[in-house]
Structure 1
Amino acid sequence: MLRVGLTGGIGSGKSTVSARLAEHGAVVIDSDLLAREVVAPGTDGLREIVESFGEGVLAPDGSLDRAALAGIVFTDDAARRTLNGIVHPRVAARTGEMMAAAPPESVVVHDVPLLVENGMAPAYHLVLVVDAPVEERVRRLVSARGMPETDARSRIASQASDEQRRATADVWLDNSGPRDAVLSEVDRLWAGRLVPFEKNLREQRVHRVGAPAVVDHDPSWPAQAARLVKRIETATGGKPVEHIGSTSIPGLAAKDVIDLQVGVESLEEADKLAHVLAEAGFPRYPEPLTDTVMPSHPDPELWRKRVHCSADPGRPVNLHVRVREWPAWRYALVFRDWMRAHPDEVAAYAALKRDLAPRFAQDSGATRYAEAKSPWMTAALARAVEWADSHADRVR
């Protein structure tokens, strides 16, 4: 099952996206609808709300007068916490029931207006954010919902900022233009990413890139890595995760593959985490691996590791699971920090990459490319270790 979080500010047109995904076959769990369901007439939720806020929050027909309740809680933090304490646990319980009932091959889209505000993003395999400019959102709220403009602007201002949503978004859907434009984007997303992601996840297949293709440094790589780090930390119960490799070094050209490493106490622990990482979207690479670039060391066993790769075709990831007490964990960090401190080495490494990549452009993988880099990497790592030993205060 692929878990997709869907969010967006009020008036962004999130319902347009969720409806299209449902047409494609996604199981959509709408938090707003569930929030209404758990406080419908005759429910314990409505009874508790009346007990907390009085009969004045009831409409003449005995249903919840949502406007009256909003007038109480919108500007009163304590009242809002009370309301959330009544509604949120019930919505969470119903969400869990619906997810459990979904078929194993489902793409489950969890539509949550306050996903960012409530820090829920790491719980999903992918987060989609629907966006539109503030003025367009105000126009929609006023014209389509009859909301006073001042109320519309207040509601928008009370939610997460664009910057906060961008930090959370794996996919940013621009819904500022014609409806057909965003629907076409959703169609492409469904066919090109969500469906193959779900299949890879279900079949525990990794998504591996083919021949090496070196591209200019992408300034968004660190933010992408940060989202993945939180996802893995959440899945593993807080195991240390680091962004390493070329995409972690500012200005360095690289393959568009994010390298991360997670620290464990032993390879036995790494093997126990294999299922957890696979469920989080990172199946185990089928072959046992050893770090190929290593200084002389009396015990080659200390260079063994486990590797997981992303099942997401839209974001290639290599996840190296290394024992923290073994040298490879530290050397990955030392090399990264040394490169960050030496722009001339960054330039030299980038030139090497750009020279080598075309030579292996017809390969089905990057093995020979990595082997060709090995002499430079071995010498560079020796320089990095020497630098780290003399700058112990700067290196973790």
Structure 2
Amino acid sequence: MIRVGLTGGIGAGKSTVARTLTERGAYLIDADVIAREVVAPGSDGLAQLVETFGADILLPDGALDRAALAAKAFVDDEQRKKLNGITHPLVGARAAELLDAAPEDAIVLQDIPLLVENHTAPFFHLVVIVHADEGVRLARLTGQRGMPEDDARARIRSQASVEDRRAVADVWLDNSGTPDDLAAKAAALWDERLVPYERGVRTRACAPQPSAEVAYREQWPVDATRLTNRLRVLGGDKIADIKHVGRTSEVGAAALDVIELDVALAAGASAADLIDPLSDGGFPERSPGVHANADPGRAVTINLV
């Protein structure tokens, strides 16, 4: 099993990617759907909201009046924290239930609008960002969804920046073209990367690594940081330090397109302690003390020292 985090700014086209991957077999966990489910009529979540914000957040039929809730919950940080304190644990618990129910060979697609803002990117095997320029997104929101322009601009600018999204993106899907163009990119991602990646994690097989040098790429230190954050989550207190080493760490140097990381073990930890967590997280053991990538799209060598 692998977990793929899918996100992108409002109006970027995330739903097209989710639909395409789900049609090809992805196991979808949609945070927006769950968020509605946990406050449905008769739910404990709705009862907690009513107790906290009052019965006037309900419609005549007993369903949640989202506009009325927003008018009360978004007046200041204290009220917003009350709302999040109720809904976030419920959404997290339901997502965990669905994850536990996924098949062992699943490619789990978790559609999370605020993945970047919530700093959860390192907890996924892969993060897919769907992107479109602000002008394109604005036109879609005002034209296709009928959103007032001022509201659309405010929604766009309240979300994560392009730079923040690029920092956590393993895959960057540009959606400046047609929905069919984007769907084709998503289908290729499934066939060429996600399917072999899941198979590699499940069988603990390393992906092939490149054998020819390429010119220096400015993306290398960004990739190294993203991988380091993922390894820290996987290794926890068994890891003391991680350093980007080798030719890809030398600015301007040509090198094999392989990110090399030296992982210093914490006192009392051994390389054997990390075999299972690193392998399950996408980095199977290639040789004693050395792990590599199961992901065919991002070559990495991890030396446990």
Q: What is the TM-score of this pair, normalised by structure 2? A: 0.96
Give matches, 1:77-96, under 5 Å.
77-96=77-96
Deviations 1:110-161 (A, max 9, x none): 0000000000000000000011111222222223333222111111111111
Q: Where do 5+ consecutive residues of structure 1 fail to align?
A: 289-305, 323-396
Contact 1:3 1:126 in 2 (8 A): yes
Question: 2:161 maps to what in 1?
Answer: 161
Deviation at 1:268, TM superposition (A): 6.3
Question: 2:294 maps to what in 1?
Answer: 311
- Identify the structure with bigger relative contact order (alpha carbons < 8 Å, sequence gap 6+): 2
Partner Cα separation in structure 1 for residue 302 and residue 32 of structure 2:
36
Name the amino acid aligned to 1:217.
Y
1:159 is paired with a residue whose SS is coil
1:145 is paired with a residue whose SS is coil
Give matches, 1:1-396, under 5 Å.
1-209=1-209, 212-238=211-237, 239=239, 240-265=241-266, 269-285=270-286, 287-288=287-288, 306-322=289-305
Partner Cα separation in structure 1 for residue 172 and residue 192 of structure 2:
15
2:87 is paired with a residue whose SS is helix
Deviation at 1:265, TM superposition (A): 4.5
Contact 1:27 1:102 in 2 (8 A): yes
Deviates more, 1:268-277 or 1:138-147: 138-147
Name the amino acid aligned to 1:112.
I
Partner Cα separation in structure 2 for residue 69 and residue 16 of structure 1:
29
Structure with higher helix content: 1
Deviation at 1:164, TM superposition (A): 0.5
Q: Using a 3 Å threshold, how does the CA distance of structure 1 residues 186 and 198 change in structure 2: closer, same or farther?
A: same
Partner Cα separation in structure 2 for residue 209 and residue 218 of structure 1:
17
Name the amino acid aligned to 1:48.
Q
CA RMSD of aligned residues (A): 1.4
Partner Cα separation in structure 2 for residue 99 and residue 279 of structure 1:
15
Name the amino acid aligned to 2:156.
I
Partner Cα separation in structure 2 for residue 73 and residue 268 of structure 1:
46
Partner Cα separation in structure 2 for residue 217 and residue 267 of structure 1:
37
Deviation at 1:257, TM superposition (A): 0.5
Partner Cα separation in structure 2 for residue 204 and residue 277 of structure 1:
10
Partner Cα separation in structure 1 for residue 140 and residue 53 of structure 2:
31
Partner Cα separation in structure 1 for residue 193 and residue 13 of structure 2:
21
Q: Percent identity?
A: 51
Deviates more, 1:273-282 or 1:236-245: 236-245
Residues paired across the two proteins, number:
303
1:155 is paired with a residue whose SS is helix
Deviation at 1:75, TM superposition (A): 4.6
Instruction: Pick the structure with greater CA Rg.
Output: 1
Deviations 1:246-305 (A, max 9, x none): 1111001000011011111479611111101111110001x34xxxxxxxxxxxxxxxxx
Deviation at 1:50, TM superposition (A): 1.2
Deviates more, 1:171-180 or 1:68-77: 68-77
Contact 1:31 1:111 in 2 (8 A): yes
Partner Cα separation in structure 2 for residue 308 and residue 50 of structure 1:
51
Partner Cα separation in structure 2 for residue 268 and residue 133 of structure 1:
46
Partner Cα separation in structure 1 for residue 66 and residue 10 of structure 2:
16
Name the amino acid aligned to 1:148.
P
Partner Cα separation in structure 2 for residue 85 and residue 271 of structure 1:
39
Deviations 1:351-376 (A, max 9, x none): xxxxxxxxxxxxxxxxxxxxxxxxxx
Partner Cα separation in structure 2 for residue 193 and residue 9 of structure 1:
23
Contact 1:208 1:309 in 2 (8 A): no
Name the amino acid aligned to 1:96.
A
Q: Using a 3 Å threshold, how does the CA distance of structure 1 residues 307 and 67 change in structure 2: closer, same or farther?
A: same
